[in-house]
Amino acid sequence: MIGSGLTALGLVRCLGRLKIPVYHITTQGDFARFSRWHKSVITLDSLPTSNSINYVLKRFQNQCGVVFPSSDELAIATASLTSDLSTILKSSLAPKDCIISLIDKLILSKLLKKYNIPHPITTSIEKPDDINGLDFLNKYFLKPRDSQKFIREYGVKALHLENFRGNKNKIEQILKSGHQIILQEYVPGPATNHFFVDGFMDRFGNIRAFFARQRIRMYPRDFGNSSCMISIPLGEIESAVSHVRKFLPAIKYRGIFSIEFKYDDRDKQYKLIEINARPWWYIEFAAYCGVNVCKLAYEDALGLDVKPILSYKVGKRFVYPYYDFACSSRLVRERKLTLLNLAQFWWRAKTPMFCLDDPLPSLYNSYKSVSGYLRRRFR
């Protein structure tokens, strides 16, 4: 397992509970290191890249294993392993070019157009003047072609185009800093219009598992992450599922996937927003509901028979308290949510950090958060 954070913790738990030894390459401050199933191998100052991953994994060339990356960059790096390593350290991933085409938002939009999959209007921004002539700036937003690099520098996934009204220098600064950006139509609607189709496709092009969930709240408000959600039947979003059945085989995909749709009330269509071509933040929630895609990826990488998962638990609730408290407190002040409704949803909801059979990562993360706050407060 290569990576850190929530995705890494979910992977360690999903595999560890199956009694599969998990050897974890991560960074020093990662809370996933405190999982009961974590076996420390290498602790690095920074995670490997496409240029360094072969060097890092050379020490395992006399052993057999399955490699699980936990981010876009690590997925590309894993798909770039040299032939001498890839024959020993297996993975269940799409080819490198396929992964890049799904991560790059402009290339993805062209693929979606080619295969007639509904998606928001998307165009490239090469210079600040490219936004000239747009009368309704609130209908569009700026989005990076590479989300992870953009988030590290700006701390957000996207920016409203209205923010740049009368100040195109900001766009020029973003472009000069090396970021490639696109202009994308903003699909209106509340957080509950966001749906996710997760699952797994094996090496033969067969989708062996589906898992559907609906977003209830998100933080930050427009371009944030889900703070609470609920598992739903596939039948509720059959149109979105049919798009996945059509698109993934067409591009010869392989591996774990998580695909975000937003329902557009204007034309009654599910618009494909984004594809995670690797494990995602809340992968443990899918396993909790009965869809352990990590198990399927492990079997597929080793060339074993991958049995399909045909059902899962619906109506299960998930809450990330840290984000949902920030989101809910605003809604309570605006009288759009009551404390009673909030408590009812939180009651017995699954969380990404704390669980009774593996409490240390949550305790360590809480300690870091509190101590960090106190240091800033009394500095």
What confidence tens digit (pLDDT) does each residue in 235-268 have?
999 999 999 999 999 999 999 999 999 999 999 9
238 and 153 in a single domain? The answer is: no
The answer on pLDDT for 94 being more than 70 is yes
- Per-residue pLDDT of 185-240, as tens digits, reads 889 999 999 999 999 999 999 999 999 999 999 998 778 889 999 999 999 999 99
Q: Which phi and psi (to 5°) does residue 28 adopt?
A: -60, -45
Q: State yes or no: pLDDT of 62 exceeds 80.
A: no
Identify whether 36 is part of a domain: yes
State the chain's mean pLDDT as an integer.
89
Residue 300 lies in a domain: yes
Answering whether pTM is above 0.85, one says yes
Residues 357-371: tens digit of each pLDDT:
999 999 999 888 888
DSSP string, 149-208: HHHHHHSSS-EEGGGGTT-THHHHHHHHTT--EEEEE-----GGGEEEEEEEE-TTS-EE
Domain membership of residue 140 as a residue range = 121-185
Beta-strand runs (E) in the chain: 22-27, 38-44, 65-66, 89-90, 122-125, 140-144, 159-160, 181-185, 194-201, 207-219, 225-232, 255-264, 269-276, 317-319
| 135 and 218 share one domain | no
My answer on whether 211 and 339 are in the same domain is yes
Shared domain check, 342 and 307: yes
Q: For residue 103, tell me if it sits in a domain.
A: no
Count of residues making up the chain: 379
134, pLDDT greater than 80? no
Domain limit, last residue, from 149, 167, 185: 185
Residue where one domain finishes, among candidates 130, 161, 185: 185
Residue 354, in any domain of the structure: no
Q: Which residues contact 335 (CB under 8 A, 6 or more apart)?
A: none
Do 221 and 342 sit in the same domain of this protein?
A: yes
Give yes or no: residues 219 and 323 share one domain: yes
Same-domain status, 46 and 178: no
Same domain membership, residue 36 and residue 155: no
| CATH code of 216's domain | 3.30.470.20
Average pLDDT of the segment spanning 46-57? 83
Residue 166 above 60 pLDDT? no
- Asked if 29 and 137 sit in the same domain, the reply is no
* 313-334 mean pLDDT: 91
Same structural domain, 219 and 301: yes
Between β-strands 38-44 and 22-27, what pairing exists: parallel, antiparallel or unpaired? parallel
What local confidence, expressed as pLDDT, does residue 42 receive? 77
CA 320 – CA 178 distance, rounded (Å) = 33
Residue 367 lies in a domain: no
The structural domain count of the chain equals 3
Kindly state whether residue 360 falls inside one of the protein's structural domains: no
Residues 342, 207: one domain?
Answer: yes
Amino acid, single-letter form, for residue 155: G
What percentage of the chain has pLDDT greater than the value 70? 95
pLDDT in the model for residue 147: 80
Indicate whether 9 belongs to any domain.
yes
Per-residue pLDDT at 170 = 74
My answer on whether 209 and 340 are in the same domain is yes
Does residue 379 lie within any of the structural domains? Answer: no
